[in-house]
Amino acid sequence: MTGSEDSEGKRRWRRPDVKRPDGGGRLTTGKQKVHKKKLGKSSREWVDRQLNDPYVRRAKEQGYRARAAFKLSEIDDRFRLLKKGARVVDLGCAPGGWLQVALERGAGSVIGIDLSPVDPLAPAEIIEGDFTDPVVLADLAARLDQSPDLVLSDMAAPTTGHKQTDHLRTLALAEAAARFAIAHLAPGGTFVSKVFQGGAQGELLEMLKANFARVRHWKPPASRPESPETFVIAVGFHGGNGPTD
């Protein structure tokens, strides 16, 4: 059975027509009936959200692997980050919505990494592994022929139900992603990361301000209003050597 976290960190099942292991019946969209009787409250809410969410429908119609694809499209529409030929690294890339958008918008090379397996999406290079594992990180770094222009992170720690713990774990992933970006980005490069309510704060914000010309926060319309997530966008990487743009 395959599964991965959705953009709000909730468990999602990659094949909505596949029977779920929690005995929750077949989850289908369109005209087929949904058997929700055996589902728990949070699973029922998840099903309702999926069925009523226009972004889920649009993702299906347009062939995106995840509704999260629209978040990157909207961020790019606003901040124009995806330049033709750009070298992109996508941290927490499963099931591949952001990879699709990056390629569609002209990225020259894309490397993605995730804990979960990702169906191939040529020419993107995909690593299955834990980004916080030094061995995996070294493998990722070794695959970079040249410095990336754009480092993306949509990584979300699996939710525990304890808000503060979830927040801290996702913040730790954003900090690790920022450290990677600072170590590898090309001058003038960009870093985008999911962060939770309140945005980048403390050490993360200081790190970004010291290394990028501008740091902004933005919650794209595709990010569910009830979700605590927002995104930090840091542009003009100068690695502490003064602004490059």
Ligand X SMILES: C[S@@+](CC[C@H](N)C(=O)[O-])C[C@H]1O[C@@H](n2cnc3c(N)ncnc32)[C@H](O)[C@@H]1O
| Residues forming the active site | 194
Asked if 55 contacts 67 with a C-beta cutoff of 8 angstroms, the reply is yes
What phi and psi values does residue 41 have, to the nearest 5 degrees?
Answer: -60, -45
Residue choice 24, 96, 189, 220 for contact with ligand X (CB under 6 A): 96
Residue choice 16, 20, 56, 65 for contact with ligand X (CB under 6 A): 65
Residue 229: CB minimum distance to ligand X, A: 9
Residue 37: CB minimum distance to ligand X, A: 29
Question: Does 28 sit near ligand X (CB under 6 A)?
Answer: no
Q: Tokens 């989850």: give the residue.
A: 27
Question: Does 7 sit near ligand X (CB under 6 A)?
Answer: yes
Which range in 35-43, 48-56, 86-94, 220-228 contacts ligand X by CB under 6 A? Answer: 86-94
For ligand X, which is the closer residue by CB, 57 or 238?
Answer: 57
H or E segment to which residue 170 belongs: helix 163-184
Residue 239: is it exposed, middle or buried by C-beta count within 10 angstroms (0-12/13-18/19+)? middle
Question: Does 184 sit near ligand X (CB under 6 A)?
Answer: no
Residue 242: is it exposed, middle or buried by C-beta count within 10 angstroms (0-12/13-18/19+)? exposed
For ligand X, which is the closer residue by CB, 115 or 205?
Answer: 115
Residue 101 and residue 81: Cα distance in Å, rounded?
12
Residue choice 28, 116, 147, 244 for contact with ligand X (CB under 6 A): 116
- Residue 65 neighbours by CB distance under 10 Å: 21
Residue choice 66, 81, 111, 215 for contact with ligand X (CB under 6 A): 66
How far CA 238 is from CA of 84, 89, 199, 208, 211, in Å, comes to 21, 18, 22, 10, 6
Residue choice 98, 196, 231, 237 for contact with ligand X (CB under 6 A): 98
For ligand X, which is the closer residue by CB, 34 or 137?
Answer: 137
The answer for residues whose C-beta is within 8 angstroms of residue 10's C-beta and 6 or more apart is 46, 159
Question: Does 170 sit near ligand X (CB under 6 A)?
Answer: no
Question: Does 55 sit near ligand X (CB under 6 A)?
Answer: no
Site residues, ligand X (CB under 6 A): 4-7, 65-66, 68-69, 92-98, 113-116, 130-132, 154-157, 173
